[in-house]
Structure 1
Amino acid sequence: MDSTVATAAYGANSFLFLCIFIFGLILAVLWILVPFAVFGIKGLLRRIARSLEVIEKQNVDLLAAWRDTPRDYARPAESVVYRDVRADGTVVREERIVPPPR
């Protein structure tokens, strides 16, 4: 009976050590790959930051245009200029007609 318990304990220990080794191996591989992921995402983050700057400028322009217009309910449709930055860095201007509020 003692040998059966000893064999079961030895098998459980071996299984536990195998699981810890596999987990450590996966963790080591991921730790090695992290710098590549960080450097790979830098360009995307720069592009997102440029897009956010453009959106902030559009918001400032829209707020300035909204403050300058009279506050009557019979306003005509207004023309709003949007600026956008493409991936290659060129700025695109587009003029849109905004309908009056109802």
Structure 2
Amino acid sequence: MDTSTVANAAYSANTFLWMCLFAFGLILSILWILVPFAVFGIKGLLRRIVRNLEVIEKQNLDLLAAYRDFPRQGETVVYRDVRPDGTVVVREERTAPPL
């Protein structure tokens, strides 16, 4: 192998590496400049999400209050179990409400 061929390959690899680093730095700097716009642009969306969550929390509190005030009665629960041979076992249980 000729020494000039090796030197040319090393120079090409070094040039390619620097080109890749330059492209990465350029992309990173453009993204760094755009980050504040993205942060300020998402603030409205976050405020809307917070308002929706507050409404949902209020609805949950209202449902919980209505659930506690509602007189509960025993419920019948039906279980249907399918065995591996294909038969179905049905059992009913009556549950009492907690005190």
Question: What residue identity is the alignment partner of 1:70?
Answer: P
Q: CA deviation at 1:72?
A: 1.0
Question: Aligned partners of 1:36 and 1:43: how far apart in 2?
Answer: 12
Residue identity over aligned pairs, in percent, reads: 74
TM-score for the superposition, normalised by structure 1: 0.71
Which structure's relative contact order is higher, taking Cα pairs within 8 Å and 6+ residues apart?
1
Deviations 1:48-89 (Å, cap 9, x if unpaired)? 000000000000000000010011158xxxxxxxxxxxxxxx
Query: Which residue does the alignment assign to 1:55?
Result: 56
Which structure 1 residue ranges, 4+ long, deviate > 3 Å from structure 2? Answer: none
CA RMSD of aligned residues (A): 1.0
Structure 1 residues 32-43: aligned runs within 5 Å = 32-43=33-44
Distance 2:33 2:65 in 1: 50
Structure 1 match to 2:29: 28
1:8, 1:57 → 2: CA distance? 69
Count of aligned pairs between the two proteins: 74
Superposition pairs of residues 60-75 of structure 1, within 5 angstroms: 60-73=61-74
Question: Taking structure 2 as the reference length, what is the TM-score of the superposition?
Answer: 0.73
Instruction: Tell me the equivalent position of 2:15.
Output: 14
Residue 4 of structure 2 is matched in structure 1 by 3
Unaligned stretches of 5+ residues in structure 2: 76-99
Q: Matched residue of 1:72: which SS? A: coil
Structure number with larger C-alpha Rg: 2
1:62 partner letter: L
Residue 46 (1) aligns with residue 47 (2): yes
- Partner letter of residue 6 of structure 2? V
